Amino acid sequence: MHWQQTGTVQAHSKAISTLCVMGNCLVTGGSDASVKTSSVKSKPFRYKADILYLSPWKISLNQKFVRAAVLSGHEDWVRSLAFRQSSSPSSPLVLASGSQDGTIRLWNVEVFSKPSKPTQLQGAATIEPLSDDFLDAFEASLGDLADAEEGGRQISLKRHILTVKSEQGGSQQYSITFDALLVGHEAGVTALSWRPDLPGASSSLTLLSTSTDSSLILWSPSSVASSSSPDGSTSIWINRQRFGDIGGQRLGGFVGGLWARGGQEAMAWGWAGGWRRWRSDGQGIEHWEEAAAISGHNGPVKGLDWSSKGEYLISAGSVSAKSSWTTRIHGAVPNKREGVAESWHEVSRPQVHGYDLLDATFLDALKFVSIADEKVARVFEAPRGFVHIVSGLEIAELHSSKSERPLGASVPPLGLSNKALTASDPSGNVQEISDTVRRPFEGELASITLWPEVEKVFGHGYEHQTNHYGQSMSLAVSNSRRFMATACKATTAEHAVVRVYDTEKWQLFGPVLEGHALTVTRIAFSPDDRFVLSVSRDRTWRLFENKDGAGFMPIAADKSHARIIWDCAWTFEGDAFATASRDKTVRIWKLDETESSARWAPVATLKAKEAITAIAFTAADHEGKRRLAVGLETGEILIYSGARTDLSKWKLDLSLDSRYGPLPHPNLTWLMTI
């Protein structure tokens, strides 16, 4: 299923914090302290398609929204509201309100009828009913005691009367009264949701609530004996189930929650981009267990790389609205059900960083290097737990000595480097996933799948960075995995250099690669590691060769592009390379050895309608054709094919429009199966 945007309306001046739909009416609430209503309509289109658009809801002049009642009691802003329809004519409509003060209040909405005057017996005194003013005065007198003992959580006994007019001219009065105060969350309540009635089950109210304390609670009433009740019992609301993590506020907690599968599953999601899901067996006394849920980045993904055999991939990205950036590893998990294909899921979260992560690249199957908006490149090595996970899920069979690897890693409270954990760790924080035949849950990914950091690589005078497309401009690893090249942002030739490191010793390999005047935008090693190609914002490409094993030396350069060169790529066979520029062209270069002095000359130019941001080659197929993927600034991807023996002729085979990627493509990577 693919969702496509069909319309946009500017409803609020600040962020929209909540919305709901009723029929064709959309109601939104924003951080600008306003609530707005819009109508969703459809217009016939001459190509027999429907176009949706939003327009302000037109209200006749004699209709106005007026404030009818104020339900007081919460001590901080109210973040969530949820109505529960009456289950029978005699039961009330229930409104639940959740607040930043960590409490939930339940309000009963019922048809109001004025009580008839009691018949006065001869000689008996007349007893007047308690008025709302009297109850308000009584509550005020208890204010000091409530503030001292319950933090100001006063119980309001006031009954609010609403008069609703019908279109026929009649009116009906309703009363709203406070019913219950639910206390259990240790931080602000973020969402409320009433459980749908389960098929064949007796009607029972169950309220789901989530909080920034990383807990999800299921509330329901329970009968207790009461001498003051006519039937000898009354009901109180209790915490029947509690899910989530202890001490989870550091992870941002849960942003929201809802019911799924007709009330059989409770779900919640958090700031880190992942969901949590708990499933009920639906039998009598319910038994709940956690189930797998979706996860992923909640912000831009800026780096991506396949493992050596394509069994899993690593991505680097950010988490929106929070100071947290992560690298994540995703693998193809075989499905046990017959006829169902494998599915890709997140299986590890090796790095959580305080700086914006820009890129991550594998050095081998169990080691990768990442860069962030800092001057350091960090190297990580897989712990024992990761080897267990990928083996248990049948993603890959990694031949590695598990006993020599640490159990996991942890991040010191005031540090950025993951520290290795062993079985003898004195802190006692060693945790492992107990069941490795299922994919890790979000709570496990966020806490116990870190990789220890084994190396830091310094050298640049400025931070690594991305361009305004989110494209990493600072990291490349050679095909043999022996060399790593890095660059940094630069406005002078002094800093517009490429540094090549030997990954065995983590020392600089030869002199730095000079020649550019501005920031290097991409680095690419040739398949045989003989050449290093770099392109820059100064509109030039430069080629360096490793001739005697002492370092890479400059051998060629060119400035034929009219705008910034964003990307470069080698053919899989290493006989040519391509450069992609903002001037809307891709140029393909081949070594020309016909003259006395060999030089790299352009053999083809591909023109596009928009600026080109990314390119990638595949190997030649069994028909001798190789393909070139071209990513445009608009999000469109063009696939060209050309003969292995003729680099001058390319044919456009396929165009993937921006629906597959509505943002500029900062990186294109083919999966090379071996």
Mean pLDDT over each residue of the chain, to the nearest integer:
82
Which band of pLDDT confidence, cut at 50, 70 and 90, is reported for residue 192? very high
Q: What is the pLDDT of residues 69-121, one digit of tens each?
A: 888 889 999 999 999 988 777 789 999 999 999 999 999 999 887 766 555 55
Task: Name the β-bridge partners of 35.
Answer: 29
Q: Is the pLDDT of residue 524 over 60?
A: yes
Which band of pLDDT confidence, cut at 50, 70 and 90, is reported for residue 47? very low
Q: Which residue has the tokens 């008996």?
A: 124
pLDDT score, position 120: 53
Average pLDDT of the residues in 222-233? 63
pLDDT score, position 95: 94
Which band of pLDDT confidence, cut at 50, 70 and 90, is reported for residue 171? confident
Bigger pLDDT: 285 vs 566? 566
- CA 378, distance to chain mean position in Å, is 23
pLDDT score, position 604: 95
HSE (side-chain half, CA atoms, 13 Å) at 465: 16
d(CA 642, CA 654): 13
pLDDT score, position 471: 57
Which band of pLDDT confidence, cut at 50, 70 and 90, is reported for residue 51? very low
d(CA 105, CA 122): 44
Distances (CA, A) of 5 to 14, 51, 52, 96, 239: 21, 10, 9, 33, 41
pLDDT score, position 5: 66
Give me the CATH topology for the region 78-112+157-291.
Methylamine Dehydrogenase; Chain H (2.130.10)
pLDDT score, position 407: 80
651 phi and psi angles, rounded to 5 deg? -120, 135
Q: What is the pLDDT of residues 492-510, one digit of tens each?
A: 999 999 999 999 999 999 9
Q: What angle do CA 341, 368, 536 make, to 5 degrees?
A: 105
Task: Name the β-bridge partners of 502.
Answer: 483, 507
Q: Are 454 and 379 in contact (CB under 8 A)?
A: yes
pLDDT score, position 548: 82
Q: What is the pLDDT of residues 582-633, one digit of tens each?
A: 999 999 999 887 655 668 999 999 999 999 999 999 998 888 899 999 999 8
Name the pTM for this structure: 0.77
pLDDT score, position 165: 79
Helix or strand or coil: residue 566? Answer: strand
Distances (CA, A) of 75 to 1, 72, 142, 147, 389: 44, 9, 16, 11, 46
Which band of pLDDT confidence, cut at 50, 70 and 90, is reported for residue 575? very high
Domain extents in the chain: 16-56, 78-112+157-291, 299-458
Both tokens assigned to 206? 């169950």
